[in-house]
Amino acid sequence: MSTQSKRPRQQDDDVDYVDSVHSQRIKTLNEGSDEEIERKVKALCRYVLACEYKKINIRRENINKIITPDNKRIFNTLLEQANQRLRTIFGYELQEAILKDKNVDEQHQYDTQTQAESSTQRRTTGGGTSGVYILRNIMKEHFILPDIVKRSTEDYINTGVLYVILALLFIHEREMDSNDLFEHLDRLKVTRYGQEPLPDRDQLMDTFVKNQYIRKTKLDEQDGEEIQYRFQWGPRAYTEIPAQNMVEFISSVSAFDMVYTHF
């Protein structure tokens, strides 16, 4: 009798002990979770800023390796917290890149979205996810005036040429073959062998391709000895430059050209 009566008590004591240990583990994990999340958010911010500085791709699989190797379910939570930090402190936003404009309506929907939306909300533009992220500048214009943000003459020249190329592509449904594009650029003195103060055209195009503003693909059908390519808007161009901004840029250049020609 005494042995049988002790067994239930012992079992109850064992259950209570297990529950106590389990509760203590949960408490310990919860107490450390905020610090762990904070550490991973900082690691993600450092990683994407370093990638932006080096102009290399920010890939989802690399982010997972850094912040969530054992728990991919918290990816979106960490991404949103990192984005909040990037917006508040650095004026940047991490956004999944658009690799190709598959549908005009989808692009219009994307262009009309506000800068305050999170990247996780903005990814659903159709065509699946790209797995590549872009660090996008979302600072207000009055914070990035030339008097505040100093840039070299070379940067201004390259940016001007880039926008002209993107504008030419834009009015040709965002893609042109190399023959047609280079014919326009030759008229603008952006030549194959360079002309002061510009470097040679191939070097410029390679830089724009590397920075993901332009996509370059070899044409299947080749005529002649020189290799022909198709140039298109790249993921960074889609991400950073809404269609309305490009329309305004083209309009401003056209207006300036009309005034200059008149005088």
pLDDT digits (tens, 9 = 90+) for 53-69: 888 889 998 998 887 76
Same domain, 253 and 212: yes
Same domain, 164 and 216: yes
Does this model's pTM top 0.85? My answer is no
Q: Crossing angle, helix 201-210 and helix 153-170, to 10 degrees?
A: 80
Residue 230: name the closest of 216, 240, 248 by CA. Answer: 216
Same domain, 180 and 135: no
The rounded distance, in Å, linking the Cα atoms of 261 and 263 is: 5
- Residue 115: pLDDT over 60: no
Same domain, 36 and 66: yes
Mean pLDDT along residues 251-259? 67
Instruction: State the CB neighbour count (10 A cutoff) for residue 235.
Output: 21
- Residue 133: pLDDT over 70: yes
CATH number, residue 244: 1.10.10.1210
Mean pLDDT along residues 83-110? 73
Residue 211: name the closest of 134, 107, 98, 157 by CA. Answer: 134
**Which residues span the domain enclosing 73?**
30-101+129-141
pLDDT at 169: 96
- Higher-confidence residue of 123 and 237: namely 237
User: 110 in a domain, yes or no?
Assistant: no
User: 7 in a domain, yes or no?
Assistant: no
Q: How close are the terminal C-alpha atoms of the chain, in Å?
A: 115
Say which amino acid occupies 113.
Q
Domain count, the chain: 2
CATH number, residue 49: 1.10.10.1200
Same domain, 194 and 133: no
pLDDT at 72: 66
pLDDT at 173: 94
DSSP line for 11-60: HHHHHHHHHHHHHHHHHHHHHHHHHHHHHHHHHHHHHHHHHHHHT--EEH
Q: What is the pLDDT of residues 212-232, one digit of tens each?
A: 899 999 998 877 778 899 999
- What is the distance of C-alpha 165 from the center of its chain? 20
Q: What is the pLDDT of residues 9-24, one digit of tens each?
A: 554 554 454 344 344 4
